[in-house]
Amino acid sequence: MFVARHIKTEHKDLIHDVAYDFYGTRMATCSSDQTVRIWEVDHATGNWSCTACWKAHSGSVWKVTWANPEFGQVLATCSFDRTAAVWEEVVGEGNIGDKVSATHWVKRTTLVDSRTSVTDVKFAPKYLGLVLAACSADGFVRIYEAPDVMNLTQWSLQYEVSAKFSCSCIAWNPTYPRHFAPIIAVGSDDTSPDTPKVLVYEFNENLRRWNKIDSLQDVTEPVNDLSFAPNLGRSYHLLGIAGKDLKVVSLEPQGMEEDSQGATRYIVRTVAKCSEHNSTVWRVAWNITGTILASSGDDGVVRLWKGNYIGNWKLVSILRGDGTQLAMTEAGASASPFGSSPVVSSIATTSSSTATTTASRFMKFAAASGVKQDVVWH
């Protein structure tokens, strides 16, 4: 069961992005009307109210993203006006329409290195500090850092990575680097069939540079969104890709092996290809444990996907914006994109009652030998 709530945003043009803060109690929206709006939820009623609104850029605002709350209430935005901006909420009287609020948002810096539209911005995982990555249509990924988190007016350009294609989206791997180096994936909306659509970069601490570790050859259509799954113990990474359809790609490092550029070698394979949207997929997002992937597309629904222990991905739920949940049979729910075995082998209805019984298929995948004590069943 889920609850859907409609919010009258009062944006005067198309909304391009919605972003929740770390706690999920605040929300930011940005639009072609050049404004950003901040929303807060009333826990008693579940209703969202606008607490701030301001003109952020002189062109359409493509993306908005929150920094980790460890650094305060900080936002970053990017726009068609070729700039990215960093905003901070400060205490002081602010106005939203005819209402007065106790705080307001202040622009701390404007990043003007791009020569074309800045298409995406993402803050790095907090262990890297207050670091911001921005990609633009000129084919560059620029990584900025605030050396003093108490003074957000000072940002320095640390790295400028040439992707050699028009960049549309960017994603950080959120995995804590106990075993993995920082990783960034960059997507392109270039329609040329010969241009790679996703590049993956890894940071080499010894050489202090970003090395390209792979270009995903299986992705041939323009990419709208990318999202790495949080990793709570896997030996590999999962990357969700939104484009003409939904793909999930696995990147498995090969131990300590490195190439001539000092980059880790990875085995890259597509583990899921899902076309149930039957339309363009625009956004992908993982849950906090990295086990369920949500996707939204032009079909007007949100689909939830989950992989099992043998790597088959299943469509587990379909959610509509009006608050209804589409029946799986109505949606023609399919299993793994590469021909998986069915979860249910048969369904029978008993003659003595209206109850149904489900016969499931079980597979033995391991055996324990030498157990001398009784096994307690859970």
The predicted structure's pLDDT at residue 238: 94
Residues 118/110, Cβ–Cβ less than 8 Å: no
Of 7-21, 78-92, 93-107, the range with the lowest mean pLDDT is 93-107
Q: Return the C-alpha torsion angle 345, 349, 355, 361, nearest 10.
A: -10
The residues, ordered by sequence, that sit 6+ positions from 134 with a Cβ below 8 Å of its Cβ are: 76, 78, 84, 111, 114, 118, 120, 121, 141, 142, 143, 144, 170
Find, among 17, 47, 340, the residue nearest to 168 by Cα: 17
**How many C-beta atoms lie closer than 10 Å to residue 361's C-beta?**
10
Quickly state the pLDDT bin for 253 (edges 50, 70, 90). confident
pLDDT at 350: 32
pLDDT at 334 over 50: no
Rounded distance between C-alpha atoms, residue 181 and residue 368, angstroms: 37
Report the percentage of the chain scoring pLDDT > 70: 81
How buried is 295 (Cβ within 10 angstroms: 0-12 exposed, 13-18 middle, 19+ buried)? Answer: buried
182 contacts: CB under 8 Å, gap ≥ 6:
124, 125, 128, 172, 173, 202, 203
Strand order in 209-215's β-sheet?
167-172, 183-188, 198-204, 209-215
- In the structure, what pLDDT confidence band is assigned to residue 340 with cuts at 50, 70 and 90? very low
3-class SS at 251?
Answer: strand
The residue ranking higher by pLDDT, 366 or 308, is: 308
Q: What is the model's pLDDT at position 94?
A: 66
3-state secondary structure of 293: strand
At 171-189, the pLDDT tens digits run 999 987 666 889 999 999 9
Contacts of residue 170, defined as CB under 8 A and 6 or more positions apart, other chains included, come to: 120, 121, 122, 133, 134, 135, 141, 184, 185, 186, 187, 226
SS3 of 14-67: CEEEEEECCCCCEEEEEECCCEEEEEEECCCCCCEEEEEEEECCCCCEEEEEEC
User: Does the pLDDT value for residue 362 go beyond 50?
Assistant: no
Calpha distance 244→183 (Å, rounded): 24
Residue 245 has a pLDDT of 93
- pLDDT at 287 exceeding the cut of 80: yes
Domains parsed from the chain with CATH numbers: 15-344 (2.130.10.10)
Q: Is the pLDDT of residue 324 over 80?
A: no
> Does the pLDDT value for residue 103 go beyond 80?
yes
pLDDT at 338: 42
Contact 205, 168 (CB under 8 A): no
Mean pLDDT along residues 192-210: 89
- What length does the chain have? 378
User: Is the model's pLDDT at 133 over the cut of 90?
Assistant: yes
In whole angstroms, give the CA distance from residue 96 to residue 254: 53
Cα–Cα dist 189/181, whole Å: 27
pTM for the model stands at: 0.83
pLDDT averaged over every residue in the chain: 84
Q: Per-residue pLDDT for 125 more than 50?
A: yes
**Comparing 260 with 318, which gets the higher pLDDT?**
318
Q: Are 61 and 91 in contact (CB under 8 A)?
A: no
CB atoms within 10 A of CB 356: 9
Mean pLDDT, residues 260-287 taken together = 88
Alpha-helical (H) ranges within the chain are: 328-331
